[in-house]
Chain A
Amino acid sequence: MIVLCLFFLGASAALFLGSYSFDELWVGERLATSSTAHLFGVDSFGRDYLTRVALGVLISIGVGLSVAMISLLIGAPVGVYSAVRGGWIDSSTGRILEVFFAFPQILLALVLVTIVGSGLFTALLVLTLVYIPIVVRFVRNVAMIEARKDYVLSAQLYGCSRFRQCFVHVLPNLWGSLLVLASSICAFAMIAESTLSYLGLGARPPVPSLGILLTENQGFLSTAPHLVLFPAVVLFLLVLSVNQVGDALIDKLDIKRHFVRG
């Protein structure tokens, strides 16, 4: 958690205090390594690399958080309702979801990109769409256990409406699991966004997504390895720290571990 905040603060500080813009050129110093003027060096076009990596970090965090939040906001109510309502609604949502689980998620994202086109914003949209089925299935499974508990039954006996059962009784009791789910989705979305960008199907240059930085610079692996290593290590640490937050939440809130794979 601390590392994550440090990342965010560090990246923002680098952006706001740094004297460079992400596409300003320093042609004379192309491919230069770290120096006091350019802490992370300069890339092949002569752009300050620290600024670009910092912006990439913010993009990753932004994509991860927004994908996690939007997919939870849409998916969680559907999952809870389907668990509490049961019957044909539950089984038909189950059938629809199965279609999405016939592909590995990244492949599903690729297919959707084929349809809607590439770009950072569409990548965000596509990833949200891809993770909604996962959220629905996960929430449905945990809500199923919760909805069978006595307090929900007694609420039902008191004549509590189904809507109220869902959102006043069941959903608030799931918030721990939802937080953990959000952290895994955040981590997967970060990986997926940079993967799409790496494949040239997500963000487009000159937007400095970490995946873009890696594709742009992997050709210089032998001459200027720092251009690959900085974004690679930063992205790795970012994902690792989000996962650690998830693990810490599981221990703190004493939740049974459910594995989610994206």
Chain B
Amino acid sequence: MIPGDPTTALLGRAFDPEIAELMRERLGLNGNFFVQYFQWVRALLSGDLGYSLINGAQINEQIFERFVRTLHLMIGGVFVGLAIAFPLGAISARRRGHLDGSVLVGINSLLISVPQFISGLLFVYIFAVLLKWLPAGGWVDPANDLGLWLRAMVLPCVTLGVALSGFTARILRTSIVEASSSDYVVAARSWGLTGRQIQRFHIYRNAALPTLTTIGLEIGYLFGGAVVVEEIFGYPGIGQLIVDSISGRDYPMVQAAVLLFALGFTFINLVVDISLFTIDPRLRKQ
């Protein structure tokens, strides 16, 4: 079924079948599929993710260090993304029917359509190759050189942010447009509320709900985006680890990293659900 075996990846093309057999024994690759899976789950429950097949190091240590780095990247990406998405969505909704509004919608379509590795390479070309303002990637220990660490983080974070902003801005715009043409806004207007009050308490509050759901999902997708961005910028996070482990057939490592990503994804969805409850009183009543 599975093409390639970790032992062949480790031993190379020409190897002694006896040694390979011994190696499989030592790595725990022999035995029934279900037995292997059961062993993995049992170790997992006691907090042990096992050992890398490639360098034999303990996965726990390697992975958490990298996970923290990926989190740095994602936090930066979320900030940049929201800083683009909120004004873009809100202004393009308010100025709909005007030329500047349409231009913003056009920009939004561009943001949705651009694949991450293309925006990333483009940023590298403009800011690192042509202008030489920022490093093209890499990672420095912030304990050694905080300034350089920050500078190296800018381009990856912006690339992630751009990826996040497209859909978020589009949803924000649609929800604002939908909310402003609803009956409760007409009613509020007939009560003589000012445009600003309506906007703040009636339109934005209602538009916040679908937008928040989207932001949650998009942050989840950032885990996928991190894989691409880390590969472009040579950033030693968990995404790069996944790609390397897949090519090296380091299955326990891939398992552990994917497990961590899925946990993160689920956790963010949980946070979104909870915050929806706090924002929307209608949900609390049920």
Chain A interface residues (CB < 8 Å from chain B) = 102-107, 110-111, 113-117, 187, 191, 194-195, 198-201, 211, 214, 218, 221-222, 225, 228-229, 232, 235-236, 239-240, 243-244, 247, 257, 259, 261
Contact mask for chain B residues 103-145; partner A; CB cutoff 8 A; 1 contact, 0 none: 0000001101111111001101100010000000000000000
Contact mask for chain B residues 241-283; partner A; CB cutoff 8 A; 1 contact, 0 none: 0110011000100100010011001100000000000000000
Contact for A257 among B122, B174, B214, B265, CB less than 8 A? B174
28 contacts between A and B (CB under 8 A): A102-B266, A105-B221, A106-B224, A106-B225, A110-B227, A110-B242, A110-B243, A110-B246, A110-B258, A111-B258, A115-B2, A187-B113, A195-B115, A195-B116, A198-B228, A200-B247, A211-B117, A218-B121, A228-B125, A229-B125, A232-B122, A235-B118, A236-B118, A239-B115, A243-B112, A257-B174, A259-B214, A261-B167
Contact B262 A221 (CB under 8 A): no
Give residues 138-187 of B contacting A (CB, 8 Å).
Answer: 167, 170-171, 174
Main secondary structure of the interface of B (DSSP, over half): helix
Q: Which residues from chain A contact B217 at a C-beta distance below 8 Å?
A: 261
Contact A105 B224 (CB under 8 A): yes
Contact A106 B227 (CB under 8 A): yes
Contact B246 A201 (CB under 8 A): yes
Closest residue of A by beta carbon distance from B171: A259
For the A-B complex with A106-B224, A214-B121 known, give 8 more contacts whose Cβ atoms are closer than 8 Å: A110-B227, A113-B246, A221-B124, A228-B125, A239-B115, A243-B113, A257-B174, A261-B217
User: Taking the complex as formed, is B89 at the interface, i.e. its CB lies under 8 A from any CB of chain A?
Assistant: no
9 A-B pairs with the lowest CB-CB distances in the bound complex, closest first? A104-B224, A106-B224, A240-B113, A191-B115, A117-B3, A232-B118, A239-B113, A104-B221, A222-B129
Closest residue of A by beta carbon distance from B167: A261
A200 to B242, CA, bound (A): 12
Contact for A107 among B129, B171, B227, B266, CB less than 8 A? B227
Q: Which residues from chain B contact A228 at a C-beta distance below 8 Å?
A: 121, 125
Distance (whole angstroms) from the CB of B268 to the closest CB of chain A: 11
A236 to B121, CA, bound (A): 12
> Given A195-B116, A225-B125, A232-B121, are A111 and B254 also a contact pair (CB < 8 Å)?
yes
Distance (whole angstroms) from the CB of A209 to the closest CB of chain B: 13
A114 to B225, CA, bound (A): 18
Contact B4 A117 (CB under 8 A): yes
Chain B interface residues (CB < 8 Å from chain A) = 1-4, 109-110, 112-118, 121-122, 124-125, 129, 167, 170-171, 174, 214, 217-218, 220-221, 223-225, 227-228, 231-232, 242-243, 246-247, 251, 254, 258, 261-262, 265-266
> Given A102-B265, A104-B265, A259-B167, are A114 and B251 also a contact pair (CB < 8 Å)?
yes
A211 to B261, CA, bound (A): 24
Contact B261 A107 (CB under 8 A): yes
Q: Which residues from chain A contact B254 at a C-beta distance below 8 Å?
A: 111, 114
A177 to B193, CA, bound (A): 39
A135 to B254, CA, bound (A): 27
A106 to B231, CA, bound (A): 14
Contact A199 B113 (CB under 8 A): no
Distance (whole angstroms) from the CB of B228 to the closest CB of chain A: 6
